[in-house]
Amino acid sequence: KAGVTQTPRYLIKTRGQQVTLSCSPISGHRSVSWYQQTPGQGLQFLFEYFSETQRNKGNFPGRFSGRQFSNSRSEMNVSTLELGDSALYLCASSLTDEQFFGPGTRLTVL
Amino acid sequence: SQQGEEDPQALSIQEGENATMNCSYKTSINNLQWYRQNSGRGLVHLILIRSNEREKHSGRLRVTLDTSKKSSSLLITASRAADTASYFCATDRWGTGGFKTIFGAGTRLFVKA
């Protein structure tokens, strides 16, 4: 079975731009969660989608949004990028309790 | 704020030695999971232990959970250079807004060959 894939793997943007990251879960997994990882804040939960509905949300500003499609693929969008948004963005899919993580997208905001 | 806190923050040992990492958390949980991350890559799931379990083994890994002390430990026996990575505990619990997974700050393990 193919693992969780994330595209793109690396991204460089400038302040004020917006960005869309994509995550394809393991086949059959309906839950997709997104996390932001930075050296200062560690791994922080962004949101979780299940069957195209946002089921849970972390403490991030409204500039961070996401969606899930009928095939369980998910996208997250960050608008009006700030320098502090530079991070590794990880998505994870799950069928039950165990989460399987993708390799992440490293976003650099200049 | 993060639910779990790992200690130590960093650990350096010789190959063949055992490595023990601890995790403490603040509120009641459903499960606790341990993950490994190599050098800024994705996380690899190691073990899940449920709140009604006290100990679990997987190969060279042993995880304990003490819900009365709100703490867990991960023991890696006979460590290898390939075990060099960051290790995170993550607690799963129901809270306002649904089911959440919250990660600790991690322990950086360095195994010297």
Condensed to tens digits (0 to 9), the pLDDT of residues B21-50 reads: 999 998 888 899 999 999 877 899 999 999
Which chain B residue is nearest to residue A90, measuring alpha carbons? B42
User: What CA–CA distance (Å, rounded) separates B27 from A110?
Assistant: 38
From chain B, pick out residues whose CB is under 8 angstroms from the CB of A99.
Answer: 33, 45, 101
pLDDT value at position B3?
A: 55
Cα of B79 vs its chain's centroid, Å: 15
Residue positions counted in chain A: 110
Which chain A residues are Cβ-neighbours of B41 within 8 angstroms? 103-104
pLDDT of residue B100: 75
Q: Percent of chain A having pLDDT more than 70?
A: 99
| Predicted local confidence at residue A9, as pLDDT | 96
Q: Which residues contact A53 (CB under 8 A, 6 or more apart)?
A: A68
Distance (Å) from the alpha carbon of B71 to chain A's nearest alpha carbon: 19
Q: From B96, which residue of chain A is nearest by alpha-carbon distance?
A: A56
Mean pLDDT of chain A: 94
pLDDT at B28: 86
- CA–chain centroid gap for B74, Å, is 6
The whole-number pLDDT of residue B4 equals 65
* A57 confidence band (pLDDT: 50, 70, 90): confident
Amino acid making up residue A13: K
A60/B60 Cα distance (integer angstroms): 38
The answer to whether the beta carbons of residues B98 and A58 sit under 8 Å apart is no
Looking at chain A, the whole-number percentage of residues with pLDDT higher than 90 is 85
Q: Residues near A71 by Cβ (< 8 Å), separated by ≥ 6? A: none
Residue contact B98–A98, C-beta within 8 A = no
Q: How far apart are the first and last CA of chain B?
A: 36
- Sign (positive or negative) of CA dihedral A94, A97, B59, B12: positive
Rounded to a whole number, what is the distance in Å from the CA of B83 to chain A's nearest CA? 18
Which parts of chain B register pLDDT below 50?
1-2
Contact call for B42 and A103, based on CB within 8 A: yes
Chain B residues touching residue A104 (CB < 8 angstroms): 40-42
- Cβ of A1 under 8 Å from any chain B Cβ? no
Contact A99 B102 (CB under 8 A): no
State the pLDDT at residue B1. Answer: 42
What is the number of other CB atoms lying within 10 angstroms of the CB of residue B26? 13
Question: Would you state the pLDDT for residue B98?
Answer: 63
Q: Which residues pair with B100 in a beta bridge?
A: B93
